[in-house]
A = this chain, B = another copy of it.
Protein backbone atom coordinates (compact mmCIF):
# COMPACT_ATOMS: atom_id res chain seq x y z
CA UNK A 1 0.00 0.00 0.00
CA UNK A 2 1.34 3.49 -0.82
CA UNK A 3 2.11 5.83 2.07
CA UNK A 4 -0.84 8.07 1.30
CA UNK A 5 -3.24 5.13 1.08
CA UNK A 6 -2.06 3.91 4.48
CA UNK A 7 -2.81 7.34 5.95
CA UNK A 8 -6.28 7.56 4.40
CA UNK A 9 -7.10 4.04 5.60
CA UNK A 10 -5.97 4.81 9.16
CA UNK A 11 -7.97 8.04 9.24
CA UNK A 12 -11.08 6.34 7.85
CA UNK A 13 -10.83 3.53 10.38
CA UNK A 14 -10.64 5.89 13.32
CA UNK A 15 -13.47 8.05 12.00
CA UNK A 16 -15.69 4.98 11.88
CA UNK A 17 -15.01 4.51 15.61
CA UNK A 18 -15.64 8.18 16.46
CA UNK A 19 -18.89 8.23 14.52
CA UNK A 20 -20.76 6.05 17.01
CA UNK A 21 -24.54 6.29 17.04
CA UNK A 22 -24.34 8.39 20.20
CA UNK A 23 -22.24 11.14 18.55
CA UNK A 24 -23.77 14.48 17.49
CA UNK A 25 -24.13 13.96 13.71
CA UNK A 26 -23.19 17.50 12.63
CA UNK A 27 -19.99 17.42 14.71
CA UNK A 28 -18.90 14.26 12.92
CA UNK A 29 -19.81 15.78 9.55
CA UNK A 30 -17.78 18.88 10.36
CA UNK A 31 -14.81 16.79 11.52
CA UNK A 32 -14.91 14.79 8.28
CA UNK A 33 -15.17 18.01 6.27
CA UNK A 34 -11.97 19.23 7.95
CA UNK A 35 -10.03 16.05 7.21
CA UNK A 36 -11.36 14.77 3.85
CA UNK A 37 -10.39 15.26 1.12
CA UNK A 38 -6.91 15.94 2.40
CA UNK A 39 -4.12 18.14 1.14
CA UNK A 40 -0.70 16.69 0.33
CA UNK A 41 -0.63 14.84 3.70
CA UNK A 42 3.07 15.74 3.74
CA UNK A 43 3.58 15.47 7.53
CA UNK A 44 2.13 11.96 7.94
CA UNK A 45 3.91 10.77 4.79
CA UNK A 46 7.16 12.03 6.25
CA UNK A 47 6.42 10.16 9.47
CA UNK A 48 5.76 6.90 7.61
CA UNK A 49 8.80 7.34 5.37
CA UNK A 50 11.09 7.81 8.39
CA UNK A 51 9.54 4.82 10.16
CA UNK A 52 10.19 2.65 7.08
CA UNK A 53 13.75 3.92 6.86
CA UNK A 54 14.18 2.95 10.54
CA UNK A 55 12.97 -0.63 10.03
CA UNK A 56 9.33 -0.21 11.10
CA UNK A 57 8.05 -3.21 13.10
CA UNK A 58 4.64 -1.99 14.41
CA UNK A 59 2.80 -0.54 11.41
CA UNK A 60 -0.39 0.03 13.42
CA UNK A 61 1.47 2.32 15.80
CA UNK A 62 3.22 4.13 12.93
CA UNK A 63 -0.10 4.66 11.18
CA UNK A 64 -1.65 6.00 14.37
CA UNK A 65 1.25 8.40 14.97
CA UNK A 66 1.16 9.63 11.37
CA UNK A 67 -2.61 10.04 11.29
CA UNK A 68 -2.54 11.76 14.71
CA UNK A 69 -0.10 14.33 13.33
CA UNK A 70 -2.37 14.91 10.33
CA UNK A 71 -5.42 15.37 12.60
CA UNK A 72 -3.53 17.93 14.70
CA UNK A 73 -2.56 19.74 11.50
CA UNK A 74 -6.19 19.72 10.27
CA UNK A 75 -7.35 21.02 13.68
CA UNK A 76 -4.95 23.94 13.45
CA UNK A 77 -6.23 24.77 9.95
CA UNK A 78 -9.85 24.81 11.13
CA UNK A 79 -9.03 27.20 13.97
CA UNK A 80 -6.68 29.33 11.82
CA UNK A 81 -9.46 29.82 9.27
CA UNK A 82 -11.93 31.17 11.83
CA UNK A 83 -13.02 34.83 11.75
CA UNK A 84 -10.79 35.87 14.66
CA UNK A 85 -7.74 34.74 12.64
CA UNK A 86 -7.75 34.52 8.85
CA UNK A 87 -11.52 34.65 8.34
CA UNK A 88 -10.99 32.41 5.32
CA UNK A 89 -13.82 31.23 3.07
CA UNK A 90 -11.93 28.48 1.25
CA UNK A 91 -9.46 25.75 2.27
CA UNK A 92 -8.15 22.90 0.14
CA UNK A 93 -10.50 24.09 -2.57
CA UNK A 94 -13.66 23.72 -0.50
CA UNK A 95 -15.66 25.93 1.85
CA UNK A 96 -14.06 26.29 5.30
CA UNK A 97 -15.60 24.52 8.30
CA UNK A 98 -16.98 27.64 9.98
CA UNK A 99 -18.54 28.82 6.70
CA UNK A 100 -20.23 25.46 6.21
CA UNK A 101 -21.16 24.57 9.81
CA UNK A 102 -20.97 27.85 11.75
CA UNK A 103 -18.40 29.16 14.21
CA UNK A 104 -19.48 27.14 17.27
CA UNK A 105 -19.09 23.82 15.46
CA UNK A 106 -15.82 24.93 13.86
CA UNK A 107 -14.40 25.69 17.31
CA UNK A 108 -15.55 22.31 18.61
CA UNK A 109 -14.34 20.52 15.49
CA UNK A 110 -10.79 21.74 16.09
CA UNK A 111 -10.98 20.65 19.72
CA UNK A 112 -12.43 17.25 18.83
CA UNK A 113 -9.76 16.64 16.18
CA UNK A 114 -6.99 17.42 18.67
CA UNK A 115 -8.45 14.91 21.10
CA UNK A 116 -9.06 12.37 18.32
CA UNK A 117 -5.35 12.42 17.57
CA UNK A 118 -4.71 11.18 21.11
CA UNK A 119 -7.54 8.67 20.95
CA UNK A 120 -5.79 7.15 17.91
CA UNK A 121 -2.50 6.88 19.78
CA UNK A 122 -4.25 5.30 22.77
CA UNK A 123 -6.02 2.68 20.64
CA UNK A 124 -2.87 1.60 18.84
CA UNK A 125 -0.40 1.95 21.67
CA UNK A 126 -0.86 -1.15 23.80
CA UNK A 127 1.67 -3.32 21.98
CA UNK A 128 4.47 -0.84 22.69
CA UNK A 129 3.33 1.31 25.61
CA UNK A 130 6.73 2.90 26.30
CA UNK A 131 7.08 3.98 22.65
CA UNK A 132 3.54 5.35 22.88
CA UNK A 133 4.37 7.48 25.94
CA UNK A 134 7.41 8.84 24.07
CA UNK A 135 5.22 9.52 21.01
CA UNK A 136 2.75 11.31 23.28
CA UNK A 137 5.56 13.59 24.38
CA UNK A 138 7.10 14.28 20.97
CA UNK A 139 3.80 14.84 19.20
CA UNK A 140 2.39 17.07 21.96
CA UNK A 141 5.54 19.18 22.03
CA UNK A 142 5.06 19.76 18.30
CA UNK A 143 1.66 21.29 18.96
CA UNK A 144 1.55 22.95 22.39
CA UNK A 145 3.51 25.50 24.39
CA UNK A 146 6.31 26.49 24.55
CA UNK A 147 7.47 25.72 20.98
CA UNK A 148 4.68 23.94 19.07
CA UNK A 149 2.35 25.15 16.33
CA UNK A 150 -0.12 26.72 18.76
CA UNK A 151 2.74 28.77 20.21
CA UNK A 152 3.74 29.68 16.65
CA UNK A 153 0.26 30.97 15.94
CA UNK A 154 0.32 32.83 19.27
CA UNK A 155 3.43 34.74 18.18
CA UNK A 156 1.06 36.58 15.80
CA UNK A 157 -0.51 38.08 18.95
CA UNK A 158 2.79 39.47 20.27
CA UNK A 159 4.16 42.91 19.48
CA UNK A 160 7.68 41.56 18.79
CA UNK A 161 8.58 38.34 17.02
CA UNK A 162 11.71 36.97 15.38
CA UNK A 163 10.88 35.46 11.96
CA UNK A 164 12.84 32.24 12.32
CA UNK A 165 11.51 31.52 15.84
CA UNK A 166 7.97 32.18 14.62
CA UNK A 167 8.29 29.91 11.59
CA UNK A 168 10.06 27.19 13.54
CA UNK A 169 7.13 27.04 15.98
CA UNK A 170 4.30 27.66 13.54
CA UNK A 171 5.36 25.03 11.01
CA UNK A 172 8.69 23.44 11.89
CA UNK A 173 7.58 21.96 15.19
CA UNK A 174 5.04 19.59 13.64
CA UNK A 175 7.55 18.52 10.97
CA UNK A 176 10.01 17.71 13.77
CA UNK A 177 7.23 15.76 15.47
CA UNK A 178 6.63 13.90 12.18
CA UNK A 179 10.21 12.77 11.63
CA UNK A 180 10.87 12.00 15.32
CA UNK A 181 7.56 10.16 15.67
CA UNK A 182 8.46 8.01 12.66
CA UNK A 183 11.69 6.95 14.35
CA UNK A 184 10.04 6.44 17.76
CA UNK A 185 7.21 4.34 16.33
CA UNK A 186 9.90 2.07 14.91
CA UNK A 187 11.62 1.86 18.30
CA UNK A 188 14.60 3.96 17.20
CA UNK A 189 16.28 7.02 18.79
CA UNK A 190 14.57 10.06 17.23
CA UNK A 191 17.39 12.57 17.78
CA UNK A 192 19.23 12.00 14.44
CA UNK A 193 15.96 12.77 12.62
CA UNK A 194 15.39 16.11 14.32
CA UNK A 195 17.25 18.31 11.82
CA UNK A 196 15.40 16.84 8.84
CA UNK A 197 12.04 17.77 10.34
CA UNK A 198 13.18 21.15 11.58
CA UNK A 199 14.70 22.21 8.27
CA UNK A 200 11.93 20.81 6.07
CA UNK A 201 9.38 22.57 8.26
CA UNK A 202 11.06 25.93 7.92
CA UNK A 203 11.48 25.39 4.17
CA UNK A 204 7.80 24.51 3.89
CA UNK A 205 6.84 27.76 5.63
CA UNK A 206 9.15 29.83 3.41
CA UNK A 207 7.64 28.12 0.34
CA UNK A 208 4.18 28.94 1.68
CA UNK A 209 5.19 32.60 2.02
CA UNK A 210 6.52 32.62 -1.56
CA UNK A 211 3.39 30.97 -2.96
CA UNK A 212 1.17 33.34 -0.95
CA UNK A 213 2.75 36.25 -2.84
CA UNK A 214 3.09 34.65 -6.30
CA UNK A 215 0.05 32.52 -6.87
CA UNK A 216 -3.63 33.04 -7.42
CA UNK A 217 -6.27 31.72 -5.03
CA UNK A 218 -7.45 29.07 -7.51
CA UNK A 219 -3.94 27.61 -7.67
CA UNK A 220 -3.53 27.66 -3.88
CA UNK A 221 -6.94 26.26 -2.93
CA UNK A 222 -7.14 29.08 -0.38
CA UNK A 223 -7.05 32.91 -0.50
CA UNK A 224 -3.76 34.44 -1.73
CA UNK A 225 -1.97 37.48 -0.30
CA UNK A 226 -3.04 36.66 3.25
CA UNK A 227 0.31 37.35 4.93
CA UNK A 228 0.40 40.97 3.74
CA UNK A 229 -3.34 41.34 4.39
CA UNK A 230 -2.93 40.24 8.03
CA UNK A 231 0.49 41.89 8.50
CA UNK A 232 2.02 38.55 9.39
CA UNK A 233 5.75 37.85 9.48
CA UNK A 234 6.74 36.44 6.08
CA UNK A 235 10.04 35.40 4.51
CA UNK A 236 8.89 36.92 1.21
CA UNK A 237 8.23 40.27 2.88
CA UNK A 238 11.41 40.09 4.97
CA UNK A 239 13.88 38.93 2.32
CA UNK A 240 12.09 39.73 -0.95
CA UNK A 241 11.10 36.97 -3.38
CA UNK A 242 14.64 36.42 -4.61
CA UNK A 243 16.08 36.23 -1.11
CA UNK A 244 13.26 33.98 0.04
CA UNK A 245 13.82 31.54 -2.85
CA UNK A 246 17.53 31.47 -2.13
CA UNK A 247 16.83 30.80 1.56
CA UNK A 248 14.35 28.05 0.63
CA UNK A 249 16.88 26.30 -1.61
CA UNK A 250 19.54 26.40 1.09
CA UNK A 251 17.11 24.93 3.62
CA UNK A 252 16.18 22.08 1.27
CA UNK A 253 19.87 21.32 0.71
CA UNK A 254 20.43 21.21 4.48
CA UNK A 255 17.39 18.95 4.86
CA UNK A 256 18.65 16.53 2.19
CA UNK A 257 22.12 16.46 3.73
CA UNK A 258 20.74 15.82 7.22
CA UNK A 259 19.17 12.44 6.43
CA UNK A 260 20.95 10.05 8.83
CA UNK A 261 22.72 6.92 7.64
CA UNK A 262 20.09 4.24 7.08
CA UNK A 263 19.28 1.61 4.46
CA UNK A 264 17.07 3.93 2.43
CA UNK A 265 19.09 7.13 2.76
CA UNK A 266 19.06 7.78 -1.01
CA UNK A 267 15.30 7.25 -1.22
CA UNK A 268 14.79 9.75 1.59
CA UNK A 269 17.04 12.30 -0.13
CA UNK A 270 15.03 11.84 -3.34
CA UNK A 271 11.79 12.41 -1.40
CA UNK A 272 13.22 15.70 -0.16
CA UNK A 273 14.14 16.70 -3.71
CA UNK A 274 10.71 15.92 -5.09
CA UNK A 275 9.14 17.92 -2.26
CA UNK A 276 11.37 20.83 -3.17
CA UNK A 277 9.93 20.90 -6.70
CA UNK A 278 6.38 20.41 -5.48
CA UNK A 279 6.65 23.23 -2.94
CA UNK A 280 8.11 25.82 -5.30
CA UNK A 281 7.50 24.67 -8.88
CA UNK A 282 10.24 25.32 -11.49
CA UNK A 283 7.90 27.77 -13.23
CA UNK A 284 7.83 29.93 -10.10
CA UNK A 285 11.62 29.80 -9.86
CA UNK A 286 11.86 31.02 -13.46
CA UNK A 287 9.56 33.96 -12.80
CA UNK A 288 11.60 34.98 -9.77
CA UNK A 289 14.85 34.50 -11.68
CA UNK A 290 13.64 36.81 -14.46
CA UNK A 291 13.24 39.55 -11.85
CA UNK A 292 17.00 39.70 -11.46
CA UNK A 293 17.71 38.75 -15.10
CA UNK A 294 19.78 35.77 -13.95
CA UNK A 295 19.31 32.49 -12.10
CA UNK A 296 19.15 33.36 -8.41
CA UNK A 297 19.99 30.02 -6.93
CA UNK A 298 20.99 26.47 -7.64
CA UNK A 299 18.34 23.82 -6.96
CA UNK A 300 18.99 21.03 -4.53
CA UNK A 301 20.66 17.99 -6.09
CA UNK A 302 19.82 14.59 -4.67
Interface residues of A (CB under 8 A from B): 18-20, 22-28, 31, 75-76, 79, 82, 84-85, 101-105, 107-108, 110-112, 114-116, 118-119, 121-123, 125-126, 129-130, 132-134, 136-137, 140-141, 143-148, 150-151, 153-158, 161, 165, 169
Nearest chain B residue, comparing its CB with the CB of A105: B157
Residue from A85, A125, A133 having most chain B Cβ neighbours under 10 A: A133
Contact between B126 and A27 (Cβ–Cβ < 8 Å)? no
Q: Which residues of B contact A79 (CB under 8 A)?
A: 107-108, 111
> This chain: how many copies in the complex?
2
Contact between B133 and A119 (Cβ–Cβ < 8 Å)? no
Contact between B133 and A116 (Cβ–Cβ < 8 Å)? no
Give Cα distance in the complex from A31 to B104, angstroms: 21
Contact between A119 and B140 (Cβ–Cβ < 8 Å)? yes
Q: Is chain A's binding surface mostly helix, strand, loop or mixed?
A: helix
Contact between B115 and A24 (Cβ–Cβ < 8 Å)? no
Q: Which residues of B contact A118 (CB under 8 A)?
A: 118, 136, 140, 144
Contact between B137 and A123 (Cβ–Cβ < 8 Å)? yes
Contact between B107 and A22 (Cβ–Cβ < 8 Å)? no
Contact between B129 and A145 (Cβ–Cβ < 8 Å)? no
Give Cα distance in the complex from A147 to B165, angstroms: 38
CB of A233, distance to nearest CB on chain B (Å): 13
Give Cα distance in the complex from A207 to B82, angstroms: 34
Give Cα distance in the complex from A79 to B107, angstroms: 8
Nearest chain B residue, comparing its CB with the CB of A24: B154
CB of A281, distance to nearest CB on chain B (Å): 32
Q: Which residues of B contact A103 (CB under 8 A)?
A: 84
Contact between A144 and B116 (Cβ–Cβ < 8 Å)? yes
Contact between B26 and A158 (Cβ–Cβ < 8 Å)? yes
Give Cα distance in the complex from A143 to B150, angstroms: 19
Contact between A115 and B150 (Cβ–Cβ < 8 Å)? yes
| 4 smallest beta-carbon distances between A and B, as pairs | A115-B144, A23-B146, A122-B137, A129-B129
Contact between B151 and A24 (Cβ–Cβ < 8 Å)? yes
Contact status of A23 and B147, CB under 8 A, knowing A84-B107, A107-B84, A130-B129 = yes
